[in-house]
């Protein structure tokens, strides 16, 4: 295994100089810095977290807090995890995954143990009990999501209100006047989760603005529940010709449920989803992209910037991007 001492001998400098180049703790001439970096590259040296921590008073570990709660869709969640881990590794940092649903108490325990340098927080509720603590922790944090009161926080999110509205505008422009909304599992709304509430609010306000008759229901993640929710939407709004789906786990059952109720996609009911592009492409669904990887990378970069003493924007909202596919088409004029 290559050590700092090996790099120092190869570069013809002291081991402390190698540490200073790695940590940036002291100013080193550009010539010496280049020599050390060349030796690091040639020898294939990978800094050990323990040595870096000793030199910088950091653990070089980020905590990724994503409680595994009911209604959370793991395949999408893992997109966030993968992007955070790979971005952190590019900065030579490790990630501690915190999956227990312990709220502020769990955060306080982790922060007090001095095991992590900062926090990335997922599944943010509008009235999240972790927020007051995050404002006062010594370690910085970045939220992937937005609470209702975001002052004093750093947040990165998709503009879910605009995403819900974008779905309505697309369908209204195609001539649809009766649109349903199939939302997340009911427990997600009961927790007052930010992304779910905002997407539904954006959908409802856009429907009102465009003069659209709209109905919204939650959906669980099994076929019978999806069928029941779709049937409920059609019962409330028999003239429904379009459906917005904000529930990745339900997407696989939507077309089958509509078929069972005598509706074809897109001839009878157009479908727009809010989901990752890859999932929409597989099913040929018109969709507003959920940019999980981009959100996770941006949040990680912001947290590392804060750890390095740089100022960051308090709120980064990504605008929605809609891709049109086979599940939507113009509504034929009524004869």
* Spatial contact of 322 and 287, defined as CB atoms under 8 Å apart: yes
pLDDT of amino acid 214: 97
Q: Is the peptide bond before 178 cis (omega within 30 degrees of 0)?
A: no
pLDDT of amino acid 18: 76
Structural class in CATH, domain 61-158+292-318: alpha beta
CATH number at 4-56: 1.10.260.40
pLDDT of amino acid 7: 80
Residue scoring higher pLDDT (244 or 89): 244
Domain-by-domain residue ranges, the chain?
A: 4-56, 61-158+292-318, 160-290
Of the chain, the percentage scoring pLDDT greater than 90 comes to 68
Cα–Cα distance for residue pair 202/217, rounded to 1 Å: 15
Dihedral (CA of 304, 48, 107, 137) sign = negative
pLDDT of amino acid 59: 78
Q: What is the mean pLDDT of the chain?
A: 90
Cα–Cα distance for residue pair 163/39, rounded to 1 Å: 49
Q: Give the domain 160-290 fold.
A: Rossmann fold (3.40.50)
| Ranges 78-87, 231-240, 296-305, 307-316: which has the least confidence | 307-316
Cα–Cα distance for residue pair 178/243, rounded to 1 Å: 9
Q: What is the mean pLDDT of residues 212-220?
A: 96
Q: What is the mean pLDDT of residues 276-296?
A: 96
pLDDT at 285 over 90: yes
Q: Let me know if the fold of 61-158+292-318 is the same as that of 160-290.
A: yes
Token readout for 286 is 């018109």
pLDDT at 332 over 80: no
Q: What is the mean pLDDT of residues 160-179?
A: 98
- Give, as one character, the DSSP assignment of residue 145: S
pLDDT at 53 over 70: no
**pTM given for the model:** 0.82
Region of residue 24 (phi > 0: left; psi between -120 and 50: alpha; otherwise: beta): left
- Strand extents, DSSP E, 131-263: 141-144, 155-158, 178-183, 213-218, 242-245
pLDDT of amino acid 50: 43
């Amino acid at each position: 295994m290559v050590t700092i001492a090996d790099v120092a001998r190869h570069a013809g400098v002291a081991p402390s100089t190698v540490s200073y180049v790695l940590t940036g703790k002291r100013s080193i001439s550009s010539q010496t810095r280049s020599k050390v970096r060349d030796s690091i590259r040639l020898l294939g040296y990978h800094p050990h977290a323990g040595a870096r921590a000793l030199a910088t008073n950091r653990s070089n570990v980020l905590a990724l807090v994503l409680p595994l709660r009911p209604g959370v869709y793991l395949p999408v969640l893992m997109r966030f995890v993968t992007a955070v881990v790979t971005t952190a590794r590019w900065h030579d940092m490790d990630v501690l995954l915190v999956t227990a649903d312990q709220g502020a108490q769990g955060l306080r325990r982790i922060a007090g143990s001095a095991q992590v340098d900062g926090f990335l927080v997922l599944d943010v509720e509008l009235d999240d009990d972790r927020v007051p603590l995050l404002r006062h922790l010594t370690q910085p944090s970045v939220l992937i999501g937005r609470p209702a009161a975001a002052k004093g926080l750093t947040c990165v999110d998709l503009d879910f209100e605009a995403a819900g509205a974008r779905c309505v505008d697309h369908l209204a422009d195609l001539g649809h006047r009766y649109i349903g909304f199939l939302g997340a599992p009911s427990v997600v709304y009961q927790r007052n989760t930010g992304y779910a509430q905002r997407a539904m609010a954006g959908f409802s306000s856009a429907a009102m603005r465009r003069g659209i008759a709209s109905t919204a229901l939650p959906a669980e993640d099994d076929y019978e529940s999806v069928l029941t929710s779709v049937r409920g939407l059609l019962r409330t709004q028999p003239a429904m010709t379009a459906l917005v789906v904000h529930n990745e786990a339900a997407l696989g059952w939507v077309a089958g449920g509509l078929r069972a109720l005598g509706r074809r996609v897109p001839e009878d009911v157009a479908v727009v989803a809010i989901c990752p592009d890859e999932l929409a492409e597989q099913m040929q669904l018109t969709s507003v992209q959920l940019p999980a990887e981009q959100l996770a990378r941006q949040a990680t970069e912001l947290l590392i910037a804060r750890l390095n003493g740089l100022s960051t924007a308090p709120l980064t909202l990504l605008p929605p991007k809609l891709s049109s596919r086979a599940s939507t088409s113009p509504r034929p004029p009524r004869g």
